Structure 1
Amino acid sequence: LEGDSTEEARLTQLVEQNTTAALDALKQSVKESVALGGLAQARARLNLNRLLARSPSPQQDLINSNRARVLVLLEVEPDSRDKAYALINLATSFHPTQAEFGNEKMKLLDRAIAVAKNIGDLRAESFALGSQAQIYESALQYEKAMALTRQAQFAAQQVSAADSLYRWQWQAGRILKATGKIQQAISVYEQAIATLQTIRGDIVAANQDLQFDFRDAVEPVYRELIALLLDPDASNTSVSQVVKNTISQNISRAIDVSELLKLAELQNFFGDECVQVALNNAKSNAGQSDANAAVVYSVILADRTEMVLQLPNKTLTHHPVKMSAEQLQHEIDSLRLLLEKRATDEYLSQAQKIYDVLIRPLEADLAAANFKTLVFVNDGVLRKVPMAALHDRKQFLIEKYAIATTPSLSLTTRGSLERTNLQALILGLTVERPPFTALLNVNDEANGVQKILKGTKLLDRDFTQKNLLSQLQKQS
């Protein structure tokens, strides 16, 4: 509900209520754990600190008190995997900006490494070493950071701990980038993504923590590699033909990485194997290509958005949009809000502005190609608005080309639809259902679809779960 301030206030209040309830539950968990002591109490206090640290006004005295108590509890605990991870979690619970606690964090991680070595747990040792490397990375001490990162990688490799290994490959890539070793960084980032691909099917089932922080711990690996591959400084038109060929190859690799990111996002969202099933189905006709279609990929990065165009002849070009992710979010939200004002054309100037930013740089390449359909594989906030509504000050984009959108081209079946004896199941709601207003045009739209495709229409009171299941069973 874009622009609905009442609904925004309701949801904000609900978030605050849920946060308060979670905080109360965690505080109660700490109280209950006191009788148990040991690792149970340490975990309860660490969990409470994790939520307290996210608060706009963290209760620092309580956080510090919990840390001190956890240290006392762990001091008397025998060495174990749980103790090693508790020490690592305690060390990493400090905010990255709290540089004054660097020595304290290092000592905690040294203890975690000692525990891990004592019990022969290479996976825990890997996380402790990698966490130490992160401290040096934050302090810009890259030589020390890389040495510890390599040790963390080696420990993870010895026990095939892919969920640990990819993190340190990613970390090595960041360090190499920071030290100007771009090609080496690209190679290491690709290794990290290859490692992630080996556990993609296990992220949901076997590693709930990894799924939970997908946006922080997985997604950036893909986006940072795409940013390196499409570095605008490498796209200088005066470079040699060899370098131009490399740039073209990098664009192709960036598309591949973008497709892997889309698959990972969908699998993380759905939480099951349906994406893999769809991927297998799409692969059955992967060799088919549409000579009448051009594809536009968008990739939103922190400092810019990359628009990648693939023409029917497989020619690739990319154009960086010099607008931060935050700025783009604002512009697209504005367009979405204006599009919902159906009785006015206030949206038009914003639709033209977005066209100028995203599509205008592609116009020359689009005009030179002979195709009918423009396929968009959009990223992030760009999925919120119809590309068809963009306007070049003379006509809408939909008036130039047939427009198609897909979450991922690798999930798209390119085979033509069998159009004989089509029957539609048309479902809709026309009446108000608070907080949603009535949809006055749904009835006319449903009638129009039924006139074209025939089939069964279920609106309002007829649109029930029982009727839906009955119709699906009848047609199966």
Structure 2
Amino acid sequence: MAKLPVLLRMLQSYLRFLKFFLLLVGTAILCIFSSPTLATFSHISLNIPQTKIQNSPVLDKSFVEQGKALYEAGLFTEALQVLEQAAIGFHNTGDKLNQAIVLSNLALIYQQLGKQTQAELAISQSLNLLKNLDSSKERAAIIAQSLDVQGKLQLAQGQTEIALSTWQKAADIYEQIGDKATLTRNRINSAQAMQALGLYRQAQKTLTEVQQNLTTLPDSSLKVAGLDSLGNVLRVIGDFNESRKVLKQSLTLATALNSSIAIGDSFLSLGNTAFAEAKTQHEVGNTDLAQQEVQAALNFYQQAARNTLGTTRIQAQLNQLNLLLEFFSKKEAANTFKQALSLSEQILAEINKLVPSRNSIYARIQFASILMDLTQKTDAPILSNLNIAQLLSTAIQEAQSLKDQQAQSYALGTLGRLYEKNKQLGDALELTTKALFIAQSIDASDILYQWQWQQGRLLKQQGNLNAALKAYDTAYKTLESLRGDLVATNLDVQFSFRESVEPIYRELVELQLLTENTQGNQQSSQYNLKQARKVIESLQVAELNNFFRSPCLEPVVEIDKVVEQDKKAAVIYSVILPDRFDVILTLPNQQLQHYTTKIPQEKVESTVTSLRKSLTDVAGTYEVKEQSQKIYDWLIRPAETELVKSGITTLVFVLDGELRNIPMGVLYDPQQNKYLIEKYAIALTPGLQLFNPKPLQKVQLNALTAGVGEARSIGGQKFSALKNVARELKEIQTEVPRSEELLNQQFVDSNLQKQLLATPFSIIHLATHGEFSSDPEKTFLLTWNKLLKVKEFDSLLRVSDRNRSGKIELLVLSACKTALGDQRAALGLAGIAVRAGARSTLASLWSVDDQWTAKLMSEFYRNLNTGISKAQALQRAQLSVFAKQKSPYFWAPYVLVGNWL
């Protein structure tokens, strides 16, 4: 590939002076062609100099509307200048009300320019001015709108709970003055904050109220915007069906109002929802459904482009191009290239018509990014590297002239990525460093980690592993600091988690293991291994947060404190890397150990897939042994001697990737002719930090048992009868006499909630159909009358928290299964296990003849009453079935997640 011309290097000297323009500022929300709406005239304010302006323009509504128009066009610096003059003018004339209005709108502009300190000062001044004015309905409305702006600033800073409280104050005012329209917009903002906090029930309740309020409002552009915002929020929280329904209402109303802009926005949002669902369906293996959604998204984007002009049209075309990239097929390469070429020519023509603004800058950056990735997939350039570089050079120049530091950082970093792809590593590193410096200066952590990651990649390619490790570690720490805010600051990150977040963790672990012992001493080796173990744990938490589309999980205990609790347990961490299989072994009171098997990732994954398929075949015992012994050799064989020497009786696995979809008990040792379950009790955990293992409480156990034994047909799905469910529940009651039962018609969520509120049960046992999926909307348990989704189930279990002194000791989900074809389905099981608030969860990875399930469960509870650990009780129960049924199909699917003691 030819190097980019020397002329482009001149950019570097041109860019060197950029740092002198940097100001101390804060984080702003970055979404292409999406920015907060300015308050209407009569609701704004800022830190105003106490001097008069010469030749001050006439201060009327049209002057302030000019600032609003500039803001909405993305010309933030020009809008700032106009509104600052307006604020000074209102100050000099003593018009405190309009000064307060201007200040609140200036706060939004400061935020967009990354000037968080000035934004906070402006909104504070706005509210202080309003305190000293006489009470009136107009004053109250302005206070509420200033509070709305303050809430947006707080959310962008990651202060989600504070933002929620601020918006509630504004909502109370809107209620008092009867402003239903603005209250609706306020509640949508609150719902976003709630879902960022993981408060799904509250968010859903708020959104339901929003829908009801919208129906009472007269048809207007505000109602269209409200429906559009609601549809977008519903997409973000994963409710694609409801999102589509609401957005179609928005489209219908926009059409009735004959608003071409609103029609275009509605089509664009519908396309984004279809795109998001297509990605989700593709990830879980529903290829046909994914393809349907791809076609739907394509149609919506084409409609959006036809029905509007300007930035919405360009965004629709860019999203359409991105869609081609995301679902690129080698079979359709020629057709894809033809479509992409035609679309790219249209986009380039449209972008060149835009006046310089944040919109035009981000359009160029996004276009350049898509072209880079598409070129890599099609092996044929849509535009040359020089053309792409020129796009980004223009973006840099526009960002510098507008003094838009965030846009500068994005443009510089993206140009650095282009140099990286062209193997011009020195130039790439210099540009990346400049982008990083700007992001640091404006405290934009949500983009900072991207440039830290890029810097690490470049240093690694240059062979500077120690410097690369430091860069990756910094990116990791930035991500960890964002754990609670990443969803709030970038609502689309969940849909690109595997591309833009997960690789940072994996590549850092790879570097830590590569440099484990480069200094040649045990101390540095142990430090690197401990750090790698910590990052693996953090990745597990990040994956689960992404699964729930919420930063809802945080570590509760340090790893080493957990390991110290059981002197007979070893913890095994697996890491699947592109060219090898790594394992970190934690033994009681010993140094960490690390071993590696050189093997391509594709072979590991194909072996796991074959094993998973064989396990669900009653007659597949030979194939199970053949495949599982390979995994035994990678995962267990190198540690055998140490496990025996240390007297280990329990293995606790922190598994990576597709390994989570198979039970470790089936791993076969041909030398001893034994499965792993014959040698060890086994437990799984998505991360030791998420659980604090404790022995089963020395109190008499009590259980809530529930199940559906009859055939059911719900939600378009048919579920076969489980004839032995009644027997299973009766046998549990024999072993745990203090039990309550909800069978068939009695097993509905209202009865479950009633029982949980009445009694703090130590065991909850549910014998019913269920499915674990990497999509939370498809992770459910069957009750008599509905599919109880994971988020609803989580809320039901937690209603009893205030009545109990400790956690649920054990949650049992028998007759469940992982979704076929979903490589990450076990995330659903891990999600239920962690969010249920139970110390331990016992579940099945595939449905088994419920006669054998009933026998195994009865044996499990009988063993549990003898005082042994839960892992040992499960081991003995599985071996009791194994003695009668050698096929792993019958005894292997049961896994214990969480506390093994």
Distance 1:378 1:468 in 2: 32
In structure 2, the residue matched to 1:312 is 588
Residues 290-320 of structure 1, C-alpha deviation per residue, up to 9 Å, x if partnerless? 2222100111112222111000114211121
Distance 1:198 1:324 in 2: 33
Contact 2:655–2:686 at 8 Å: present in 1 too? yes
Task: Give the one of 37, 40, 56 matched to 2:312.
Answer: 40
Distance 2:345 2:364 in 1: 12
User: Following TM superposition, by how much is the alpha carbon of 1:61 offset from its aligned partner in structure 2, in angstroms?
Assistant: 3.3
Task: Give the one of 587, 599, 610 matched to 1:323.
Answer: 599
Code of the aligned partner of 1:414:
P
In structure 2, the residue matched to 1:5 is none
Partner of 1:370, secondary structure, is coil
Contact 1:288–1:414 at 8 Å: present in 2 too? no
Residues 177-226 of structure 1, C-alpha deviation per residue, up to 9 Å, x if partnerless? 11111111111100011111121111122211222201000110110011
In structure 2, the residue matched to 1:340 is 616
In structure 1, the residue matched to 2:292 is 17
| Equivalences for residues 101-112 of structure 1 within 5 A | 101-112=384-395
Whether 1:123 aligns to 2:406 is yes
Residue identity over aligned pairs, in percent, reads: 38
In structure 1, the residue matched to 2:678 is 399
Distance 1:10 1:314 in 2: 42
Per the alignment, do residues 11 and 74 of structure 1 end up closer, same or farther by CA in structure 2, a change over 3 Å counting?
A: closer
Code of the aligned partner of 2:527:
Q
Distance 2:675 2:740 in 1: 33
Q: How many residues align?
A: 459
Partner of 1:152, secondary structure, is helix
Per the alignment, do residues 438 and 353 of structure 1 end up closer, same or farther by CA in structure 2, a change over 3 Å counting?
A: farther
Whether 1:224 aligns to 2:507 is yes
| Equivalences for residues 278-317 of structure 1 within 5 A | 279-280=555-556, 289-317=565-593
| Equivalences for residues 419-434 of structure 1 within 5 A | 419-431=698-710
In structure 2, the residue matched to 1:411 is 690
Per the alignment, do residues 266 and 40 of structure 1 end up closer, same or farther by CA in structure 2, a change over 3 Å counting?
A: same
Code of the aligned partner of 1:325:
Q
In structure 2, the residue matched to 1:361 is 638
Residues 228-254 of structure 1, C-alpha deviation per residue, up to 9 Å, x if partnerless? 1112x866xxx98x4343222211111
Deviates more, 1:396-405 or 1:465-474: 465-474
Whether 1:55 aligns to 2:328 is yes
Contact 1:30–1:44 at 8 Å: present in 2 too? yes
Task: Give the one of 749, 757, 762 matched to 1:465.
Answer: 749
Contact 1:26–1:44 at 8 Å: present in 2 too? yes
Code of the aligned partner of 2:328:
S
Contact 1:172–1:188 at 8 Å: present in 2 too? yes
Distance 1:376 1:405 in 2: 5
Partner of 1:457, secondary structure, is strand
In structure 1, the residue matched to 2:628 is 351
Whether 1:91 aligns to 2:374 is no
Task: Give the one of 374, 377, 381 matched to 2:658.
Answer: 381
Code of the aligned partner of 2:650:
T
Residues 3-41 of structure 1, C-alpha deviation per residue, up to 9 Å, x if partnerless? xxxxx99933222222211211111111112xxx11121
User: Following TM superposition, by how much is the alpha carbon of 1:469 offset from its aligned partner in structure 2, in angstroms?
Assistant: 2.1
Contact 2:512–2:529 at 8 Å: present in 1 too? yes
User: Following TM superposition, by how much is the alpha carbon of 1:473 offset from its aligned partner in structure 2, in angstroms?
Assistant: 2.2
Distance 1:330 1:224 in 2: 22
| Equivalences for residues 418-457 of structure 1 within 5 A | 418-431=697-710, 439=722, 442=725, 445-454=728-737, 455-457=739-741
Per the alignment, do residues 436 and 327 of structure 1 end up closer, same or farther by CA in structure 2, a change over 3 Å counting?
A: farther
Partner of 2:521, secondary structure, is helix
Residues 84-109 of structure 1, C-alpha deviation per residue, up to 9 Å, x if partnerless? 11110111111252566100110000
Distance 1:167 1:422 in 2: 50
Distance 2:643 2:507 in 1: 28
Distance 2:285 2:513 in 1: 41
Partner of 1:342, secondary structure, is coil
Question: TM-score, normalised to structure 1's length?
Answer: 0.89
Partner of 2:594, secondary structure, is strand
Residues 253-299 of structure 1, C-alpha deviation per residue, up to 9 Å, x if partnerless? 110111111111111111234313xx34789x769632222100111
Distance 1:459 1:336 in 2: 32
User: Following TM superposition, by how much is the alpha carbon of 1:459 offset from its aligned partner in structure 2, in angstroms?
Assistant: 4.1
Contact 2:556–2:689 at 8 Å: present in 1 too? no
In structure 1, the residue matched to 2:822 is none
Residues 99-126 of structure 1, C-alpha deviation per residue, up to 9 Å, x if partnerless? 6610011000011111111111111111
Task: Give the one of 259, 263, 287 matched to 2:541.
Answer: 263
Query: Which protein is bigger by CA-based radius of gyration?
Result: 2
Contact 1:203–1:211 at 8 Å: present in 2 too? no
Residues 303-355 of structure 1, C-alpha deviation per residue, up to 9 Å, x if partnerless? 22211100011421112132222211111121122221235533233333322
Distance 1:287 1:298 in 2: 17
Distance 2:314 2:432 in 1: 28
Distance 1:420 1:192 in 2: 47
Per the alignment, do residues 437 and 226 of structure 1 end up closer, same or farther by CA in structure 2, a change over 3 Å counting?
A: farther
Contact 1:312–1:371 at 8 Å: present in 2 too? no
Which blocks of at least 5 consecutive residues in structure 1 are unaligned? 1-7
In structure 1, the residue matched to 2:460 is 177
Code of the aligned partner of 1:293:
A
CA RMSD of aligned residues (A): 2.7
In structure 1, the residue matched to 2:449 is 166
Distance 1:101 1:344 in 2: 53
Distance 1:380 1:9 in 2: 14
Per the alignment, do residues 287 and 271 of structure 1 end up closer, same or farther by CA in structure 2, a change over 3 Å counting?
A: same
Per the alignment, do residues 453 and 344 of structure 1 end up closer, same or farther by CA in structure 2, a change over 3 Å counting?
A: farther
Contact 1:263–1:275 at 8 Å: present in 2 too? yes
Question: TM-score, normalised to structure 2's length?
Answer: 0.48
Contact 1:303–1:324 at 8 Å: present in 2 too? yes
Contact 1:122–1:158 at 8 Å: present in 2 too? no
Partner of 2:301, secondary structure, is helix
Per the alignment, do residues 361 and 226 of structure 1 end up closer, same or farther by CA in structure 2, a change over 3 Å counting?
A: same
Deviates more, 1:161-170 or 1:99-108: 99-108
Distance 1:329 1:459 in 2: 40
Distance 1:287 1:396 in 2: 25
Partner of 2:579, secondary structure, is coil
In structure 1, the residue matched to 2:303 is 28
Distance 1:258 1:9 in 2: 23
Code of the aligned partner of 2:597:
V
User: Following TM superposition, by how much is the alpha carbon of 1:67 offset from its aligned partner in structure 2, in angstroms?
Assistant: 2.3
Distance 2:389 2:433 in 1: 17
Partner of 1:403, secondary structure, is strand
Per the alignment, do residues 288 and 9 of structure 1 end up closer, same or farther by CA in structure 2, a change over 3 Å counting?
A: closer
User: Following TM superposition, by how much is the alpha carbon of 1:373 offset from its aligned partner in structure 2, in angstroms?
Assistant: 1.8
User: Following TM superposition, by how much is the alpha carbon of 1:73 offset from its aligned partner in structure 2, in angstroms?
Assistant: 2.5
Partner of 2:286, secondary structure, is helix
Contact 1:122–1:155 at 8 Å: present in 2 too? yes
Partner of 1:17, secondary structure, is helix
Per the alignment, do residues 428 and 374 of structure 1 end up closer, same or farther by CA in structure 2, a change over 3 Å counting?
A: same
Code of the aligned partner of 1:324:
P
Per the alignment, do residues 11 and 215 of structure 1 end up closer, same or farther by CA in structure 2, a change over 3 Å counting?
A: closer
Contact 2:562–2:688 at 8 Å: present in 1 too? no
